[in-house]
Structure 1
Amino acid sequence: MNRSRRPAVGVPVASTCGWKALLLPQQNRQSLYVYGSEVAVEKECIRQLQCGVWVIHPFSQIRSYYIMCMMAITFLNLIGIPMEIAFLDGRSGVGWEGFNVFSDTLFLIDVALNFRMGIISEDSEVAILDLKQIRLCYLRTWFIPDVIAAFPIGYILLIADLQFQSDPNSSKASRMMRILMFVRILSLVRLLRVSRLVRFFNEVEKISNANLDVVRLFFRVLSLFMMIFLLCHWNGCIQYFIPMLEEFPSDCWIRRENLMNATVGEKYSFGVFRALSQMIALSYGSTETPTNETEMWIVMVSMVSGALMYTVLVANTAAIITEGDPTAQAYKSKISHLEHYMTFMKLPADLQLRINKYYQTRFGGKWFDERDILNLVSSSLKEEILTIMCARLVYKVPMFQSFNVNFINALLVKLQHEVFQEGDFIIRQSAPGDRMFFIEHGQVLEETESSQRELCDGDYFGETCLLTKGKHVSTVQALTICQAFSLDVDSFHSTLDGFPDVKTELNKIALQQQESV
C-alpha cells in the first residue's frame, strides 16, 4: 500500500548545502524529548533556515562534537598550564609550545563562535537563534572572563623562547629569562578556563535527555571529581612553584628532599604527595614544621583548600542523596509494582516491553497525577493552564472557530491527555464514535475506503462523531509516538447543554453534513 508520507526531518537538511546542514538540529533522543516529535524537529530546522544567517543550533551534531572536544582541550590545559609554569622552567619543548599556540587559537575562535551559538532558553522549549539576543546575552555574562582566559600567552612564550635561543648575549639572555618568568606568571590567567569547563558540563547536562537520570548523575559526579582532582593538582604545583620563585632557599623542602636535579615526574610526585598530606591533615608529606614564612603560608593554603575540598565533597554528596527528584522516585516505585504485576500475570515479553515503553513516553520518568493536580487549583487557574496547553489545538477545528471564549474554555476542561505508541490503532472504521482527538505531537495515518492522509502536530480527527454520535468513518493508526488530547462525546454534549445557542448552531451543522452524505 502506497503512503503519501510527509517529508522526513532530514529533507530540509538535505536540501541545503553541506556546511549549513551541520548547523541544524538533528533528530536524536535529546531533540525529540524537547520538541516532542519528528515534525516539530523539522519545523525547528525550517525556523532556523528562515532566519537567513548561520547560527549553530544547541541540538546540532556539530555542537555536540564541539563541546566534547572543547571539554577535553580545556581539561588538558588546566592540567598542563600549572605543570609548565612550575616544573618545565622554560624547557617545555616544541610539542608543548605548539599545543599552547593551538589551545590559545582554539579559545580565541571559541570567543568568536559564542556570538553564533544558539542558546537554550530557560523553559527549553525554543532555542534563541536571533543574533542580537545571542550577542547581548554573551556580552552581559561570560564575554570578559572568556577574553581574559583566551589571552594568547602561548604566542608570546613562543616568540620569547625563539628570541632567547637566537640571542647569545648573556645580559640580554638574563633579561629575557626575567621576561619569560613574568610571562609564565602572567599565564596563570589562563586558569580562568576552569569556568569554561564548568559551563561545558552544564551545557552537556542541559541538552542531555532529562529522562536519563543516570547520565545526568554521571556527569554531575564526573564534574565533581574533576574539580577535586584539579584542586589537588594545582596545589601540588604550587608546592614547587613558590620556592622556585624564591630561587630555592637553602631551608626549603625541595633542597631538604634533594630534588634540585630530579626529573619532572619525581618533582611533581613529591609536590602532589606533600599537598595531599596537608590537605587531608596527615603528616606523611611533611615530617617537619615549615622552616620559613613562605612555607607556612603554603601549608595554610593547602589546609584551607583541603577543608574546602571536604566541604564541596560532602555538600555535593548530600545534595545527590537528598535532592533526589520525588517524582522520579515515585515513578520508579510505580514501575516496580507494574513489573511485579506483569510477571505475576505472565504477560508476553513483547507486551511487557510495549507497556514499559508506554509508561516512559507517557510520564517521562516522573510520576504525577495530572487530574489530581488540576483538581487542586482553582477553576480559573485550571482554565488558564489548559488554555496554554490546548487552546491552539481546539481553535484549529473550523466548527469551533466562530464560538465564544466561554464555550471553548468549558470544552478545554473536558479534554484528556492520551499517549499512543507507533503502530497503535487509535480509532477503527465503523467502531462507535465516542471521541475526537487533537494531536499535540506525533504523526498518524487516517485511512478510509477511498483515500488516506497523514496528520501531524496541530491536526485533529474524529470530529464527525461529536455531532452525529455515529460511527467512525475512518481508521487512524499512529505512525510515531503520538501525544494527543481527546474530547469524548458525553462530555461534549453535557457542555452544550449550558450553551443553547451554540447547541442550535451545531445541530444545523450536523444536519447539513447528514444531508450532504
Structure 2
Amino acid sequence: MPRFEDHDCMLTNLQEDVVAHFMESGIFITWRRKLRSLCMISRNHPETSRYFKSYASCRNEEVRHLVRHNRMIHPFSLMSLYWEFFTFFLFTALYAVVPIDASVLVIGHDHDIYLVKFGLDLMHMVDMVMIFFTGFYDEDKSKVIFTPGKIAKRYLKTYFIFDVLSCAHSLMLPIRLSVNVGVVTSLIIRTFGILKIIRITRWLRVTELFRQYMGYTSYLFKGVRVILVFLVVMFWAFAINFFVENFLTQYHVSIHTPEKDIFEIFFDATTTLMIVSILRDNMTHILEYINTLIFICFGFGLQLFVYAQIIQVWIKYANADHKRYSLHKQFKEYMKYKELPLKLQGRFVSYFQFKFHKYFFKDSDINNMISPFIRQEILMHVTRRHIEKVDFFRHLPENVLMKVVAQLKTEIYLAGDVIISAGTIGTSMFFIYHGTVAIFTPSGKEICHLEDGAHFGEIALILSETRVANVVAVTASELFTLRRTDFLEAIDPYPECKDQLMLLAAERLHKAITHT
C-alpha cells in the first residue's frame, strides 16, 4: 500500500510496506518483492474500493494474504487485473479463429489456421491453471476465499468441463498424430470449440473492468459492448452454420459447394444472416433448406436484439447525461457563487466522490422508503462491531443499546481535517467506519493512528471536560458520531448504569491526562 497522501507521518515504527516486512532478505529480493506485490491486493484495481473502502482494510487483507495464503493470487491484484486484460484479447482471437477454422472445413483446405488455434488453446489452458491459483470474493461471507480446495471446487462445478471440452481438439493432438482418428470423430471433437462461447460472460466482465480502470463513461461503453457482442455472436453463428454443413457432408447429404475461398464463404453467410440475399441457389436437400431458414431467423432475431439494446442504451445515456450535467452545473455554480479557491474546490469535489463512490443517492429518501425496523436492523448491522468494542457499553441493556445506535449520525472528514481540538469541551464520541485518523498531543507530537472499527472521545459522553488531544483525519474518513445529550437521554432510566459509567469515565480521563 502507498504511504498516506498529505500526511507527514511522525511514527517511525509504522510499517507501510507489508511485503518488505514479510520478505526481509534473500536472493533477488527486490524482484521477488515486486512479483509478490503484483499478486496482492491493489487500490488500483477497479473493484478494490467496492469491497475494501479504506487503507486499513486493504492492509489487513495484505497481512491475511501473506500469513495464510502467500502462494495464491489475490482477485483484486494487479496481476489478476492484467491477466484478465490478456484473456480478453485471447478470447477475442479465439472467437474469430474458431469460425474461420470451421469455414476452412467447408472449402476443404486446412491452411495454417489450425496451428494458430492450437497456440491459442495452449494459452487458454494456461488460463485454466491460473484460475486454480487465484482467489475469489465470496459475497455471502463478505471476504476473499484463498483455500485451494474451495477454489477448485467452485471452478469444477462451473466452467471447468466446458473449458476442457473446448480445448479437446488441441489436447488430443498427440493421439491424432499417432492413431488414425475417424473423420466424423475428429469433426465432433473439433465442434466442441463452439463451447468457448459460454465464457462470453467473463469476456464482457473484463470489458467492464477495463472501462472502470480507464474511467470511461458507462453508458457510452455499453453501446460499444453491444456492438462487440453482435460481432462475436455473428461470427459464432457462422461457425455453427459451417459445422452443420460439414456434418451434412459427412452423412452423405448432397451439398454442391462450388470452389470458393474463405472470404466468399463468409460473404455468403453474412448476406444470409443479415437477410440481404441468399446467394446459394444450388440447394438440393431439405436439411439444407432447414439450416438456411434457421440461420435467417437467427439473424432476424439478432438484429432486433441489437436495435433494442442500442435504443435502450441511448435513452439511458441521454437521461443519465442530463442528470450528470445538471448536477455538475449546480456544483460549478455553487463554487462560483461562493468564490471558492481552487484548492477548496478540489476538496469539495473529493468530498462527494468519497461519499458516493461515483453513485449519487439520497440517504433521506431511501430511509423514508423503508420501515423503521429495517432501518434499525441496518444500523445495528453496520455499527455492532464498533459498539461491542466500547467498554462503556458493555454494562448497558440491549434495549438501551438499540436507542444508542438509533442516535448515531454519519460525518465525513477529508485528509487534513481536524476532528477534535485539544482544549475544547467535548460533546461527542466518534466511531471510525472507514478511514484513518492520527492522534496528536497538544504540543504536536503524533501518538498513534486509529483505523476501521476504532473509537475515540468516549469520555465526552459522561463528563463535560476539555479534550486532551488533537485528532486529525489522515485519509478521507467516514465516522459515526454520538452526542452526549442523546446518550444521556438513552441511559437516564438506568441510574445505576449511569453511576458506573461516571466512575469509568473519570478513570479513563485520569489515564489520558497522565499519558499526554
Residue 199 (1) aligns with residue 216 (2): no
Q: Do the aligned partners of 1:115 and 1:131 also contact (CA within 8 Å) in 2?
A: yes
CA apart distance, 1:432 = 3.5
* Matching residue's letter, 1:496: I
1:501 maps to 2:496: yes
Output the amino acid matched with 1:27: R
Determine if the alignment matches structure 1 residue 275 to structure 2 residue 275: no
Distance of 2:433 and 2:486 partners within structure 1:
20
Q: Distance in 1 between matches of 2:264 and 2:218?
A: 36
Structure 2 counterparts to residues 195-234 of structure 1, below 5 A? 195-202=198-205, 205=208, 214=216, 216-217=218-219, 220-234=222-236
Task: Give me the identity figure in percent.
Answer: 22
Pair 186,70 (structure 1): closer, same or farther in 2 beyond 3 Å: same
Superposed CA deviations along residues 456-495 of structure 1, whole A, max 9, x for unmatched, are 1122222232222233222221111111111123322332
In the alignment, what sits opposite 1:485?
480
> 1:362: how far off?
0.7
Question: In the alignment, is the contact (CA less than 8 A) between 1:235 and 1:272 conserved in 2?
Answer: no
Q: Deviations over 1:216-267 (max 9, x none)?
A: 54654444322211233344566767667749x9x97853xxxx2x6xxxx3
1:198 maps to a residue whose letter is T
List per-residue Cα deviations over 1:257-287 (Å, max 9, x = no partner).
xxx2x6xxxx33333333332233223x639
Asked if the contact 2:463/2:505 (under 8 Å) is kept, the reply is yes
Q: Which residue number corresponds to residue 29 of structure 2?
A: none
Q: Does 1:92 align with 2:87?
A: no
Q: Is the 8 A contact 2:421 2:469 kept in 1?
A: yes
What does residue range 79-478 of structure 1 map to in structure 2 within 5 Å?
A: 79-87=96-104, 89-93=108-112, 96-122=113-139, 125-151=142-168, 153-154=169-170, 156=172, 160=176, 179=182, 183-184=186-187, 186-202=189-205, 205=208, 214=216, 216-217=218-219, 220-236=222-238, 246=249, 255=258, 260=259, 267-283=261-277, 286=279, 293=286, 295-317=288-310, 319-320=312-313, 333-449=326-442, 451-452=445-446, 453-478=448-473
> Which deviations, in whole Å up to 9, do the C-alpha atoms of 1:16-67 show, x marking residues without a partner?
4545444321232531342011111111122223334633221011111211
**How far is 1:448 from its partner?**
0.9
Match of 2:3 in 1: none
* Aligned 8 A contact 1:23 1:60 in 2: yes
Distance 2:115 2:214 in 1: 42
Look up the equivalent residue of 1:435 and give its one-letter code. S
RMSD of aligned Cα (Å): 3.7
* 79-88 or 328-337, which deviates more: 328-337
Contact 1:279 1:305 in 2 (8 A): yes
Distance apart, 1:455 and its partner CA: 1.4
What SS does the aligned partner of 2:480 have?
strand
Q: Give the aligned residue type for 2:230.
A: I
SS in 2 for 1:468: coil
Q: In structure 2, do the counterparts of structure 1 residues 6 and 190 end up closer, same or farther at CA, with 3 Å as the change threshold?
A: farther
Deviations 1:162-191 (A, max 9, x none): 779xxxxxxxxxxx7x94675245312112
Letter in 1 for 2:351: Y
* Matching of residue 35 in structure 1 with residue 52 in structure 2: yes
Alpha-carbon separation, structure 1, partners of 2:114 and 2:264: 25
User: Which residue among 78, 83, 92 is the counterpart of 1:75?
Assistant: 92
What letter matches 2:198 in structure 1? S
Contact 2:15 2:21 in 1 (8 A): no
Gaps of 5+ in 2: 1-7, 24-31
Query: Contact 1:445–1:455 at 8 Å: present in 2 too?
Result: yes
Change (3 A) 1:38 1:328: farther
CA distance in 2, matches of 1:83, 1:158: 23
Distance 2:337 2:220 in 1: 34
Report the equivalent of 1:170. none
Counterparts of 1:210 and 1:381, CA distance in 2:
35
| SS in structure 1 of the partner of residue 501 of structure 2 | helix
Aligned mates of 1:191, 1:318 — CA distance in 2? 30
Moved more, 73-82 or 500-509: 500-509
Tell me which amino acid in the other structure corresponds to 2:18. V
Q: Distance in 2 between matches of 1:424 and 1:487?
A: 19
The more displaced of 82-91 and 28-37 is 82-91
Deviation at 1:328, TM superposition (A): 10
Residue 97 of structure 1: CA displacement? 4.3
The alpha carbon displacement at 1:3 in A equals 0.8
Compare relative contact order (CA 8 Å, sep 6+) and give the higher one, 1 or 2. Answer: 2
Alignment length, in residue pairs? Answer: 489
Secondary structure at 2:352 match in 1: helix
Structure-1 separation of matches of 2:49 and 2:435: 10
Q: C-alpha displacement at 1:296, in angstroms?
A: 2.6
Q: TM-score, structure 2 length as denominator?
A: 0.81
Matches of 1:211 and 1:487 in 2, distance apart?
40
- For residues 171 and 164 of structure 2, the distance between their equivalents in structure 1, rounded to whole angstroms, comes to 15
Q: Secondary structure at the match of 1:426?
A: strand
Cα distance between partner residues in 1 of 2:284 and 2:457: 87
- Specify the SS of the correspondent of 1:92: coil
User: Per the alignment, do residues 54 and 207 of structure 1 end up closer, same or farther by CA in structure 2, a change over 3 Å counting?
Assistant: farther
Partner-residue secondary structure (3-state), 1:422: coil
Aligned to 2:22: 15
Q: 473-482 or 181-190: which moved more?
A: 181-190
Return the alpha-carbon distance in structure 1 between the equivalents of residues 325 and 495 of structure 2: 48
Offset at residue 387 of structure 1 (A): 1.2
What is aligned with 2:74?
57
Deviation at 1:438, TM superposition (A): 0.9
235-244 or 422-431: bigger deviation: 235-244
Q: Is the 8 A contact 2:256 2:282 kept in 1?
A: no
Change (3 A) 1:123 1:220: farther
